[in-house]
Amino acid sequence: MAILGAVLGDILGSQYEFDRPKDLDWKNVPLIDTDGIGFTDDSVMALAIKKALDEGIDLVDTMVDIGRHYPYCGYGGKFYYWIHDIFHKPYGSWGNGSAMRVAYVGEYYENYDKMQEMAAKTAAVSHDHPEGIKGAVVTATCIWMAKHGKSKQEIYDYVLGEYPADIYPFSIDKDLEYLREHYVWTEKCSDTVPAAMRCFYESTDYESFIRNIFSFECDSDTFGAIAGGVAEEFYHGFGYIDAEGIVKKYLSDELKDILF
């Protein structure tokens, strides 16, 4: 379940979104090591999209309805206004909110074209800047590729094609050693998506993927939500990590019902 991988990535990453110690022993620290852990807007919106697709109901209405139940889960200012406004119009965002919520689309659709079309749609309701739409499409496509047996190199090549190294400063060609030294915390899809996919690319299992995220300052919950679905599909699960137990502990009853 890519959606489970994304939600788990959000929860585990939430610990260090803003309060990552500079001397964090990211190779050995327990996966759950702080009190500042929980689901964020990443999981809320990802599960709202899941509910809309599973039940065949209106996407925007579902995102607004579910979103209003969790007013303090970490929305950006403009998206908070989008949820609570009377009219839910797109506002030209290039932020990573479009990529963090799209995991289920890559899992749900077998047809490649329909998957990409729906990924773009889930972005465009709010994040209709070309980079916002691209971030959602690339994320869903990487999940779809992992689910359909594509290699890491094929996924890497696809992401590099979408985020060429001569245009994007944190393209997937920048290795983790580089990111640990140079990455700057940002909400841009164009920075977040390829860097998150690099965390997956250099992993060997789901745990090492999470530890790669822990290894430098970044929007860590969103990194987990964006590439967590890719890691889950590629590695066919979570190894020894009790993914269901963790998410059931931290999700609300409503969100658990949607997920499971």
Alpha carbons 76 and 51: distance in angstroms, whole number: 22
Domain count for the chain? 1
In terms of Cβ atoms closer than 10 Å to its own Cβ (0-12, 13-18, 19+), residue 161 is exposed
- pLDDT > 90 fraction of the chain, expressed in percent and rounded: 97
**Helix ranges, 176-219 (H):** 176-182, 189-201, 206-214
Give me the sign of the Cα torsion angle 153, 17, 184, 178.
Answer: negative
Q: Which domain holds residue 129?
A: 2-17+32-259
Alpha carbons 6 and 245: distance in angstroms, whole number: 15
The answer as to whether 113 is a domain residue is: yes
Q: Which CATH number do you get for residue 244?
A: 1.10.4080.10
> What would the pLDDT profile of 167-208 be if each residue is shown by its tens digit?
999 999 999 999 999 999 899 999 999 999 999 999 999 999
pLDDT confidence tier of residue 166, bands split at 50, 70 and 90: very high
> What would the pLDDT profile of 106-128 be if each residue is shown by its tens digit?
999 999 999 999 999 999 999 99
The answer as to whether 22 is a domain residue is: no
Mean pLDDT of the 230-249 span: 97
Instruction: Read off φ and ψ for residue 179, nearest 5 degrees.
Output: -65, -40
Alpha carbons 134 and 131: distance in angstroms, whole number: 5
The answer as to whether 26 is a domain residue is: no
Residue type (1 letter), 189: C
The answer as to whether 183 is a domain residue is: yes
Statement: residue 34 has pLDDT above 90: no
